[in-house]
């Protein structure tokens, strides 16, 4: 049997063909959503904020996103007992919500099994837009989606097909990665992605490049990750190596 190296080279090239910067929209999405309740934000109130469609391409324009008392952040952006160099959300720590406000985590609410199910936070109304009038700085900026507007979607994460870089050419099936496909059924996406069923690629902020699956339809969105992005914390902690 011939070598599988040429096949792997083709697959690798396809996975790393990123769309041009003018071809995709950057959006906030939570593949592992964690609910956040902002306790001092008025109940029943919301406001509209402006978000850029691409940070390096002003011509891509802007879109409107809604902010309110309840939002979702990425579950990996919170640690109850953070190690050194983890600057994202944790009890007592202040971070920036992109385009919105500074928030401080006050409490992690847990279920009977001890799992965190909700974060209780406060916000600083003076920091609208992401900057503090008194000049104080934060070390992390988190992406988020409004709980009121978030759309639930199925997300399929495609990982390396083989468990090792050079699979056995004589029995490559033995080296198949059993986790080459991860299916997430409760991802939370920005409302903008539900407006149509466009096949145009998008970047889920800090997650990677995604394309709609042929199975996707209004009311049941399905996105496939084509190329992942390395997470800064994963790199620091060694998980992204």
Domain final residue pick, 91, 120, 146: 146
Residues 109 and 161 in one domain: no
Pairing of strands 62-68, 46-52: antiparallel
- pLDDT confidence bin for 7, thresholds 50/70/90: very low
Query: What 3-state class would DSSP assign to 148?
Result: coil
Q: What is the pLDDT of residues 81-109, one digit of tens each?
A: 999 989 999 999 999 999 999 999 999 99
Which single residue is written with the structure tokens 């040429």?
Answer: 6
Residues 42 and 123 in one domain: yes
- Cα separation, 22 vs 60, in Å, equals 7
Averaged pLDDT score across all residues of the chain: 83
CATH at 87: 2.40.240.10
- Cα separation, 66 vs 193, in Å, equals 14
Residues 110 and 181 in one domain: no
Q: Is the pLDDT of residue 205 over 50?
A: yes
- Cα separation, 10 vs 79, in Å, equals 38
Residues 99 and 203 in one domain: no
Q: Is the pLDDT of residue 241 over 90?
A: no
Q: How many structural domains are present in the chain?
A: 2
Domain final residue pick, 98, 124, 146: 146
| Poorest-pLDDT segment among 118-127, 129-138, 158-167 | 158-167
- pLDDT confidence bin for 21, thresholds 50/70/90: very low
Residues 104 and 164 in one domain: no
Residues 52 and 115 in one domain: yes
Domain carrying residue 173: 5-24+153-237
- pLDDT confidence bin for 23, thresholds 50/70/90: very low
Q: Is the pLDDT of residue 157 over 60?
A: yes
Q: What is the pLDDT of residue 81?
A: 93
Q: Is the pLDDT of residue 25 over 70?
A: no
CA dist list (Å): 170 to 1, 127, 174: 6, 61, 9
What pairs with residue 161 in β-bridges? none
Residue 3 phi/psi, 5-degree rounding, is -70, 150
Q: What is the pLDDT of residue 53?
A: 86
What value does the mean pLDDT take over residues 152-156?
A: 92
């Amino acid at each position: 049997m011939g070598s599988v190296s040429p096949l792997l080279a083709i697959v690798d090239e396809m996975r790393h063909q990123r769309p041009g910067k003018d071809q995709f929209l950057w959006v906030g999405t939570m593949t592992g959503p964690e609910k956040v309740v902002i306790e001092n934000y008025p109940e029943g109130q919301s406001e509209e904020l402006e978000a850029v469609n691409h940070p390096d391409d002003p011509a891509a324009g802007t879109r409107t996103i809604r902010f309110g008392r309840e939002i979702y952040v990425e579950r990996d952006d919170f640690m109850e007992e953070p190690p050194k160099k983890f600057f994202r959300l944790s009890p007592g720590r202040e971070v920036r919500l992109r385009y919105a406000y500074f928030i401080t985590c006050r409490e992690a609410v847990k279920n009977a099994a001890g799992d965190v199910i909700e974060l209780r936070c406060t916000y600083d109304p003076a920091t609208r837009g992401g900057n503090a009038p008194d000049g104080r700085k934060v070390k992390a900026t988190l992406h988020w989606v409004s709980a009121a507007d978030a759309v639930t979607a199925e997300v399929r994460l495609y990982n390396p097909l083989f468990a090792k870089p050079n699979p056995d050419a004589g029995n490559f099936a033995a080296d198949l990665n059993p986790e080459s496909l991860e299916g997430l059924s409760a991802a939370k996406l920005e409302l903008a992605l539900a407006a149509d069923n466009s096949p145009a690629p998008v970047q889920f902020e800090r997650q990677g490049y995604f394309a709609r699956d042929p199975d996707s339809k209004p009311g049941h969105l399905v996105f496939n990750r084509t190329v992942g992005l390395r997470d800064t914390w994963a790199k620091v902690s060694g998980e992204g190596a």
